Chain A
Amino acid sequence: MFQGMLIYGLINSVILALVTLGFNLTFGISGVANFGYGGLYILAGYTIWILFNLLKIPYLVAIVLSILFTAFIGGLMYRFILLRLRGLTNLEVIASLAVGVIILEMFRVAGFIGFEYTLPGFISGSVPIGETLVDAQRLFIVGIGMVLALFLWIFTRYTKTGLAFRGIAQEERTALVLGINSDKMATLSVAFGSGLAAIAAAVILPLGIIAGEGGYTVLLNAVAVCIVGGLGSPGGAVVASFIIGYAQTFTATYLGSHWTMIVSLLAIILILVIKPSGLYGKQKEIEEKV
């Protein structure tokens, strides 16, 4: 029982971390709070489904295509909508949220509801760990999560684009002086984040079904985790997702699952009351604005 809690808690946490990755990255780099994130996540899911089930494209190819497609859409959204609202945070949030809603509702109206909209996943069957059975897909997710984290770590440190990203993230003006086109980079970063959302969708959605509601949940989780972790701090996001992830699983196991939401929200509020700028947020002094 307790062991099962530990294992499923880990899985749950990794899922949260995966879901958050893209949102966090985008914000960390270009300060764009992409509230269309949930929409893009679901978009990726449906794209895979359509490519795979209707156009009969091999599963892996379908996934790759949908990742690229989602990234492209994300980029477009930034280029043609958010770019015009640079710096107007409220507008940015509302506009991107609206875009997300557009995506979600379009699929709903097109009749994409029901259980048949589910992805096969990569591995079926289940592996016994101790006395608890864990289905392989979940273990697979954990694997992917780690790989992705590692990849990002290398990417932001050793590739030209990655370094440019960090440049923008740290000091936009200087980056401009160094001839880094911050608009282009921001567009890239949003596209990149959307791509990550697609990857998350590809590995996580097989556990459940593809449904609009999922989009909203994903968005809420991503935002919550990011802020608790301290905005734009990848490490913080990971830690936060583990805290929230375990909090949820623990309550689900011992309190019953309609307490999960309460507990995780409570955790968020408490953490923020204690540390007003999130767990690993940069030292915020009184005069700084977020």
Chain B
Amino acid sequence: MKDNGPFLQVSNLSKRFGGVQAVDSVSFELRQGEMLGIIGPNGSGKTTLINLITGFYKPNAGKVLYQGKDITGLMPYKIADLGIVRTFQMVRPFYQLPAFKNLIIPLYSPRVKRLAGGKYGDRDAIAIDLLEEVGFERESLVPYKITSALPHGYLKKMELARSIAMRPELVILDELFSGLSMAELASMLPIIEKMISEGITIIMVEHRLKELFRIANRVIVLNHGTKIAEDIPKDVMKSEEVKKAYLGTEVT
């Protein structure tokens, strides 16, 4: 793939809540097709950083450049429309509806329509295909099941499918692995690898370091809202500061 400068460029982004400096002038760059991991102990400002990039919070200072375009402080839907799609830690689907209905909303978005050449197509069918892609067994009618009947793992997969449905260029996964069993995790990883192979750039905020390190090319470590380390997975934990930051907090 061609590499025209930084795909996403975050330069000293900052956000303050009242007295607390949640994110303190964090900067990093991201090349297209890269797989970046963001880790850090609880309350180190990972999610806030994501909210800043995706426009859910307005930064007090700093810039976010996407493909050279300044997207700082744009409304979230505008940013999503550019192809920066995120998932959420807390999955809040339509519990009372069949699973595939949860993909209708992303499939309804202007971006999808545009990319599909001005027409949506049969959303239900597309939704079911997408779910099958992320491992909803069609023959056992899982995509048709009422959402509330699905186990947690499926909901997380559904969240992933939601992002894929948007035909994203950059996907930001917020603690996708949290609360997954080993088996569920194992079934999740290939999907992500597939996304990477399709050239989708990915940022992943994780606590499950082992799995993250297996797929990430690069890892950023946040602590108290500041970036304390940036390195390739196998070296990143070597830094003293990171050890200190993680001391006492579990490393799975």
A and B touch in the complex (CB under 8 A): yes
Residues of A within 8 A of B (CB): 283, 285-287
Some 8 contacts from A to B, beta carbons below 8 A apart, are A283-B17, A283-B18, A285-B51, A285-B56, A285-B57, A286-B56, A286-B76, A287-B56
CB distance from A183 to the nearest CB of B (A): 27
CB distance from B34 to the nearest CB of A (A): 28
* Chain A contacts for B76, CB-based, 8 A: 286
* Chain B contacts for A283, CB-based, 8 A: 17-18
| Docked pose: A115 CA to B250 CA in angstroms | 73
- Interface residue count for B (Cβ, 8 Å)? 6
List residues of B (37-83) whose CB comes within 8 Å of A's CBs. 51, 56-57, 76
* Chain B contacts for A285, CB-based, 8 A: 51, 56-57
* Chain B contacts for A287, CB-based, 8 A: 56
| Docked pose: A285 CA to B56 CA in angstroms | 8
| Docked pose: A286 CA to B55 CA in angstroms | 10
CB distance from A262 to the nearest CB of B (A): 33
Residues of B within 8 A of A (CB): 17-18, 51, 56-57, 76
Name the 4 nearest CB pairs between A and B, nearest first.
A286-B56, A283-B17, A285-B57, A285-B56
| Docked pose: A285 CA to B76 CA in angstroms | 12
* Chain A contacts for B56, CB-based, 8 A: 285-287
| Docked pose: A231 CA to B57 CA in angstroms | 21
Q: Which residue of A lies closest to B88 (CB)?
A: A287
| Docked pose: A19 CA to B76 CA in angstroms | 40
Q: Which residue of A lies closest to B90 (CB)?
A: A287
* Chain A contacts for B18, CB-based, 8 A: 283
Q: Which residue of B lies closest to A286 (CB)?
A: B56
| Docked pose: A283 CA to B22 CA in angstroms | 13
CB distance from A36 to the nearest CB of B (A): 33
CB distance from B210 to the nearest CB of A (A): 30
CB distance from B178 to the nearest CB of A (A): 18
Q: Which residue of B lies closest to A283 (CB)?
A: B17
Q: Which residue of A lies closest to B18 (CB)?
A: A283
CB distance from B208 to the nearest CB of A (A): 24
| Docked pose: A287 CA to B47 CA in angstroms | 13
| Docked pose: A283 CA to B51 CA in angstroms | 15
CB distance from B145 to the nearest CB of A (A): 27
